[in-house]
Amino acid sequence: MNYKILLFLALFIGIPSYSQKKYLFDYMVEYDLKDTDTSKVRKEYILTNSKDNSYTLTLFEKDSLNFGLIFFDQNGIYSKSILDKKSFSRAEFITLNCSVVSGYGNPYKYQTKNYDFTNKSDTLIDGQYYFYYFLKSNKPKKEKRKKLATEHFIVEKNTSFHLPILTFATSYEEWKLEKNIPNGIPKQMYMVTYKEKKLFLFYELKRYAKINKYIIIHDECDYTDPEAIKKRDAQIIRSLKNMINKPLKFSF
């Protein structure tokens, strides 16, 4: 087994510990996503906690066998990694190795003074009305000068049990500050350019389902200290060299 394969597999090797962060996901939401009007449709899955929207786990198809995973905790943790689809399907617990966990210092909190959510009249889709709101700059001159886009949300019916799904930091921070938009899983999410009024990052809800999965991050992961990160990387390399001829054990 070569070094590159070992490095890939080591992403999900568990680290024994009694102290850890545990994130529960109780819903999986499936979307069709188009980056632009002319791009192909691709699948994206967002795992959520219906009662805590401060974190999400986004899945996308890396290839026919693997998912790309992006874990995002708005309170300061980010991780990007890969896991094979079969392991993900059967796993209840997914342990992230420290090597794929990094800190996140939200640089957009100040933007809450520049943006507001606006609730609009219900929008009509296929003969049914849906809640509709958007996030837009509250400074028209700046919006025009910088050609700032607007983020739109249309809410699926009968999903008020679920807090809003807000994957962008500015959207989440504004919601946390005001909490003036309706609960519910977005039926559609999309951005609209300022001048051309073109849509991009268009999410169309396909289905959602109850699940029970956890992301585990051990407290050994010191994702805020650059020196600790360097030290940890060196330890991982040494461990990988020692494991070349040994079977790998996974923690899911």
Residues 100 and 215 grouped into a single domain:
yes
Q: Which two tokens stand for residue 19?
A: 């102290």
Q: How far apart are CA 199 and CA 223, in angstroms?
A: 36
Residues 9 and 97 grouped into a single domain:
yes
pLDDT digits (tens, 9 = 90+) for 189-245: 999 988 878 888 999 999 999 999 999 998 888 776 665 545 544 544 454 444 333
Residues 13 and 80 grouped into a single domain:
yes
Q: How many CB atoms lie within 10 A of CB 59?
A: 19
**Domain extent for 79:** 3-106+210-242
- Picking from 230, 239, 252, the residue whose alpha carbon sits closest to that of residue 92 is 252
Residues 66 and 150 grouped into a single domain:
no
Q: How many CB atoms lie within 10 A of CB 190?
A: 20
Residues 216 and 97 grouped into a single domain:
yes
What would the 3-class secondary structure string for the chain be? CCHHHHHHHHHHCCCCCCCEEEEEEEEEEEEEEEEECCCCCEEEEEEEECCEEEEEEEEEECCCCEEEEEEEECCCEEEEEEEEHHHHHHCCEEEECHHHEEECCCCCHHHHHCEEEEEEEEEEECCEEEEEEEEEECCHHHHHHHCCCEEEEEECCCCCCCCCCCCCHHHHHHHHHHCCCCCCCEEEEEEECCCCCCEEEEEEEEEEEEEEEEEEEECCCCCCCHHHHHHHHHHHHHHHHHCCCCCCCCCC
Inside any domain, residue 252: no
What pTM, to 2 d.p., does this model score? 0.80
Query: Band of the pLDDT at 173, cuts 50, 70, 90?
Result: very high
Predicted confidence at residue 20, as pLDDT, reads: 85
Q: Which two tokens stand for residue 12?
A: 């999900």
Residues 89 and 132 grouped into a single domain:
no
Residues 151 and 136 grouped into a single domain:
yes
pLDDT digits (tens, 9 = 90+) for 142-168: 999 989 999 999 999 999 999 999 988
Residues 171 and 151 grouped into a single domain:
yes
Inside any domain, residue 117: yes
Residues 102 and 115 grouped into a single domain:
no
Inside any domain, residue 200: yes
Please give the tally of structural domains in the chain.
2
Inside any domain, residue 220: yes
Residues 221 and 101 grouped into a single domain:
yes
Query: Band of the pLDDT at 3, cuts 50, 70, 90?
Result: very low
Inside any domain, residue 131: yes
Q: How far apart are CA 88 and CA 69, in angstroms?
A: 10
Strand partners, 33: 42, 203
- Picking from 71, 74, 32, the residue whose alpha carbon sits closest to that of residue 53 is 74
Whether the Cβ atoms of residue 12 and residue 94 lie closer than 8 Å to each other: yes
Inside any domain, residue 248: no
Predicted confidence at residue 238, as pLDDT, reads: 55
Inside any domain, residue 184: yes
Residues 147 and 234 grouped into a single domain:
no
Residues 187 and 125 grouped into a single domain:
yes
pLDDT digits (tens, 9 = 90+) for 98-155: 888 888 777 677 888 999 999 998 888 888 999 999 999 999 999 999 899 999 999 9
Inside any domain, residue 251: no
Query: What mean pLDDT comes out for the span 7-13?
Result: 38
